[in-house]
Copies of this chain bind each other. A is one copy, B any other.
Amino acid sequence: MTPSEERRVRLRDVAERAGVSVGSASQAFGRPELVSEQVRKRVLDAASALGYPGPDPAARRLRLGRAGAIGLIFAERLGYAFTDPAQAPFLRGVASAMEESPNGLLLIPDSRYREEAARTVREAAVDGFIVYSTPQNDPRVEAALARGLPVVTVDQPRGAETPFVGIDDRAGARSAAEHLRGLGHQRVAVLSFVTSLDPHGGLELDLSVERLEGYREGLAGAWDPSLVRACRPNAPEPAREATLELLGEREPPTAILAMTDTLAVGALQAAAELGVSVPAELSVVGFDDSPVAAHTTPPLTTVAQPQEEKGRLAAQWLVEDVERGVGLGAKDRRAILPTELVVRESTAPPAVP
């Protein structure tokens, strides 16, 4: 049935068989109102007789100058994006905004090799990029910027080079720390990605520095740099190990501020293993209010951020910029979305000794 042996069928072949010019054949597909009913039918018949799959997208895209897709650059390896439950809502937001437009969403895989990863970005057939929570100096980000296409950045300000969507990480973190202080905690450990507040520590995410700073401000007098632990990657296991260590010390902390819910989950695991009761003996606060936070044991007190809204807004802005043909995007757009402390059952006043 399908002539799979034949060479690929071109519009030209269809036109020839229908006895019309390529121009008319093209119209028959793209702007039916411009050709007579008769010609249209002849072309369509010829097409189906030849098994013509319709205009080649690559060619039409070249001519039209639009790729019909936007690229999404992630912080992490692509597989990881679907592992961290906190990322799903963001993706959902992006996806739902995309459904309004005729564009596709191209997920750009990372690679072990920096140069390889940048090449993928350079060669991606897209009209713009969303850069999501990606560290400074990431070669993919540089490659994306170099393309001169509209870009919207999420969660990582990098100056004002591009439109930006994010939250006030510092204020969010501060509210978490103040909550613990308010409960009376004096020895509070911090699970972070970094231990230093040096803003130029290299490939860091600003948000980790910002959150750390927020914790420091919120803890004020209770801030103790020696209780800060770096956990990498952002997964339960490193947090579990760090917490085991913290709880094994002579004078263990009475509370833990985890920079993400994922880290908080690790902390809860460690506490459970050691038979340390949460929140009676140890309070734990996360960040993100990811879907798991409500279902941990006990349910997690955490800082909620509007992930889905971030995704939706970023996609919406980007699509607008693409349609308007803006190079690199209207630079003055910035959105700082609100965070909210969600108090569940993982926090309580410290045990009186």
A106→B69 contact, CB < 8 A: yes
A57 at the interface (CB under 8 A from B): yes
A120-128, A177-185, A202-210, A335-343 - interface stretch:
A120-128
- Report A318 CB to chain B, min CB distance, Å: 14
A79→B62 contact, CB < 8 A: no
For residue A65, which residue of chain B has the nearest CB? B58
Q: Mark A44-66, 1 if CB is under 8 A from B, else 0.
A: 00000001011011111110010
For residue A351, which residues in chain B have a CB less than 8 angstroms away from its CB? none
Q: Mark A118-137, 1 if CB is under 8 A from B, else 0.
A: 01101111100000000000
For residue A60, which residues in chain B have a CB less than 8 angstroms away from its CB? 123
B107→A79 contact, CB < 8 A: no
Q: A116-B102, A125-B61 are in contact. Are A95 and B69 (CB under 8 A)?
A: no
A197 at the interface (CB under 8 A from B): no
A2 at the interface (CB under 8 A from B): yes
A35 at the interface (CB under 8 A from B): no
- Report A32 CB to chain B, min CB distance, Å: 14
A57→B124 contact, CB < 8 A: yes
For residue A105, which residues in chain B have a CB less than 8 angstroms away from its CB? 78, 106-107, 109
Q: Mark A77-97, 1 if CB is under 8 A from B, else 0.
A: 111011101001101110110
For residue A62, which residues in chain B have a CB less than 8 angstroms away from its CB? 56, 58-59, 61-62
For residue A120, which residues in chain B have a CB less than 8 angstroms away from its CB? 102, 104
Q: Give A108 to B146 CA distance when docked, in angstroms.
A: 26
- Report A236 CB to chain B, min CB distance, Å: 13
Q: Give A149 to B124 CA distance when docked, in angstroms.
A: 20
A78→B106 contact, CB < 8 A: no
Q: Mark A272-287, 1 if CB is under 8 A from B, else 0.
A: 0000000000000000
Q: A104-B106, A106-B105, A124-B104 are in contact. Are A148 and B61 (CB under 8 A)?
A: no
A295 at the interface (CB under 8 A from B): yes
- Across the interface, A83 reaches (CB within 8 A) one of B51, B58, B92, B147, namely B92
Q: Give A51 to B103 CA distance when docked, in angstroms.
A: 27
A327 at the interface (CB under 8 A from B): yes
For residue A291, which residues in chain B have a CB less than 8 angstroms away from its CB? 85
Q: Which 9 A-B pairs have the closest CB atoms?
A: A79-B96, A78-B95, A82-B92, A105-B107, A57-B125, A82-B91, A58-B62, A79-B95, A99-B109
23 A–B contacts from the bound complex (CB under 8 Å) = A2-B327, A51-B148, A57-B67, A57-B125, A58-B61, A58-B125, A68-B123, A68-B124, A78-B95, A78-B96, A78-B98, A79-B92, A79-B99, A81-B95, A82-B95, A85-B88, A88-B88, A99-B109, A104-B124, A105-B107, A106-B107, A125-B125, A292-B295
Given A58-B67, A62-B62, 18 further pairs, Cβ under 8 A:
A2-B327, A2-B328, A4-B148, A51-B148, A53-B146, A54-B146, A57-B123, A57-B125, A58-B58, A59-B62, A69-B106, A69-B125, A78-B98, A82-B89, A85-B88, A95-B107, A98-B107, A106-B106
